Structure formats: C-alpha cells, structure tokens
Amino acid sequence: MKPELKVALREDFHSFLQKAFREVHGEKLGNQDYLAYISHHLSKIRTGDERFFLINLPPQHLKTFCCTCLVAWYLGHYPKHRVLVIGYGMTTPRRSRVRSASS
C-alpha cells in the first residue's frame, strides 16, 4: 500500500469508509453526498469536536456500517481505549464484536 494511501486512510474517515466497504463487500462505495456528510460528522467524534450525532435514515442506508467503521477507525487511533456498542437489537453489537475480534 502506498504511503499516501495509508495517511489518507488514517486521517480521513471517508477514505477509510470507502476502503472498508470495498474490503467487506468487494465493490466500490457509491458517491452519495449523505455518506460524505455522515463521514464528516462521525470523524468529528474522534477529534472531540462533537460528542453526539444522530443518524435518522431509512433501512439499508449504511448507518450500522458507518458506525461500525467509526469504532474500528477510532480504535486504530486509540488502541488502549474501550468502546461500548449499543443497539436496539443484540444482533448488531454481537456481529460487530465478532467482526472486530476476528480482524
């Protein structure tokens, strides 16, 4: 992997999200404006500029995927921190835990 790409993946959450989508789904992530908007605000959580961000979208709009990627990206920056993932159903947090533990 090129050094420039490594820097982009580490510093830009949207680049990280695109790379993660390609790795998981084997195809390129679409260029929808709402994903850039979500990425921008989720990246501010890592820097501490925002503490909360509510995502209210219909099903199948990558809400869970974006937030799961945020956890991975965050832990890449702060590996000694702990993250609590809470969902309305237990399948999402368990599935995310299994994915991150197996990675």
Q: Can you give the residue ranges of every domain in the chain?
A: 3-102
Q: Please report the sign of the dihedral spanned by the C-alpha atoms of residue 61, residue 74, residue 52, residue 38.
A: negative
- Tell me the pTM: 0.80
CB contact set of 29 (below 8 Å; sequence gap of 6+): 17, 18, 21, 22, 35
pLDDT of residue 84: 83
Helix ranges restricted to H, 1-103: 3-11, 13-25, 33-47, 63-77, 91-102
Reported as a single tens digit per residue, the pLDDT across 19-78 is 999 999 999 998 899 999 999 999 999 889 999 999 999 988 999 899 999 999 999 999
Q: If phi over 0 gives left and psi between -120 and 50 gives alpha, with beta otherwise, what is residue 24?
A: alpha
- Tokens, residue 41: 């605000």
